[in-house]
Structure 1
Amino acid sequence: MSVTPVVTPAEAGVRFWLPAFAGLTKGLKNQVILSKENGGGSMAQKATLLIIDDDPITLGLLRTRLGKAGYVVKEAKDGSEGIDMAEKARPDLIILDVRMPKVDGWQVCQTLKSNPITRLCPIMILTGCSQDVQELYGLQCGADAYITKPWDARQLLDTISKLLTQSTASQDVRSEAAQQRAREYIQRVVRVVGSLPKAPHVEGMAAQILTLATSFIAAYQTAVTNGAMEMLSKLPLADQRAEELIYWLGLLRDSNASDNSDIPQLLAEGTVLRQIFAATLKKASRK
């Protein structure tokens, strides 16, 4: 996956780092579409933001400003608490300071972006570190945007709105990114099954997992390659098969039939796919 740095010339201090997914940006060529809607527009209605910062003054200012804009705000006072809360609360976006006790912002960013459960969540670094080398390191850690303190309220709200819009687009089952993710997930499932020992009790689980994987990918492909009505009718079946796959992979893990380290990752990845399905169905049902 290539990453292209995009600097918004109209807003000093803000940089976006967009994954160059084929099909996801659809002719935009990694351009950022600047929106000047009020404080993030309808995105602010239900979006949950997690602020990870050890400074009580910064937390108070952000809590007040973002609350007025309509966001649900959660807070963590250090990096360790932030990692734990991000995995449990599943926020829509994370605002992250760099200089914190226990675990610094760079480590938090790397940890969250390497976790299948949290890696889709956009991370905006908000820090007093203004050097270019710090911004470059933020890119390497996986951050999606970088704002330096002192921050401007309009700049902050616009950046949040854009990141939420980009995140919503990537969490659509019809996007190329999501389709690639589903294909790679099934390929990994098949590889794990192929590595299992030849034992009667294991072969039964393996056969069930392969059957579910085949049914899952068939339902998924039907859902994403046809019209909206077909998607609404077939995607729930793909979601059901994903849920069953998670169940059987959990049984496989608990049976100790295999010490394959991919199984816990597949369980987490399956959960993420189901989150993408739920987000797509929710959005489609509003239309």
Structure 2
Amino acid sequence: MDTYQLFTVDGSSLGPYAALPVPVSWNGYDPICVTRSIAEQIADDLNWRDAGCGLTADWDGPNLVLVWDQDHRGDAGSETFVPGPDGLYRIGGLWPWMEWEGDTAGQQAIRALGERGISADYEYYEGKMWLVITRDRDARDQSLASAACLLLHIFNEAADEDVDVNRAPVPLDRWRVFSGTFEGEPLIEFGVDRLDRCVEFIAAWVASNGSAAAAQAIVIEQRRAVLRATVLPRTAAPEYTVSVNGDTATMPWGIVMASAQKSIRAGASITPGDAGTFTLTAPGGGRSAHFQPA
């Protein structure tokens, strides 16, 4: 889906759920149209976050089956929601939907990407909603295992865990971009106020061949650009002091720059500082090296 409207269950904290926009004549008991991924989120919320409400969800192949007891509607029963020819589930009639008011991190990202002509879709994974970006519409109909894609997500430093993009961003959130997998290390990571840096990276990837190798090449070039913009020129700082695990050494500018470039090509990330200082960190948050003019 290229355009979304967010909904929640009236009177609850469930959701929000991304669905196709509804017409003006829509009312809360009319269905909303959602993808399989969103339907999975609704099912999980019924079974876990709203346990005891009298409704449970299960899957019969591609079909979503909702079962209710006597406390919910007076008589026990069930209803099966079958995906339509477009693959969407039309879910409604069992509770009142309500349009969700607010601005989520996911909405902000979708708007920012849309300004660059880039579409993003929601993808549900282990209880959290992510954004998935592919280079063309046909690829979005493929599975993540077969389509070259990037995944955009939020990590919260305070909680030290991934969080759902369908909530308002907070200061300790950080944007992360992954290449085609929910696991592993992010390609890039920026503070929640630097969504623009993630969008620039994604736009460069879309303009390339859209492969994992292209994504990694863009990461390396962006980090090298940060290095060039941070380091002082040789004439201003002929030597740099390098600190690693408490050990320090002073080296000529040329040797330091060659070593830094090699580390970046090997996957090290760079954090710029003031007055020509910077820190390189090995992949996976391993050993760090701090560089400063001597």
The structure number with the bigger radius of gyration is: 2
Same fold per TM (> 0.5)? no
Larger fraction in helix: 1
Higher strand share: 2
Q: Which has the higher contact order (CA 8 A, sep 6+)?
A: 1
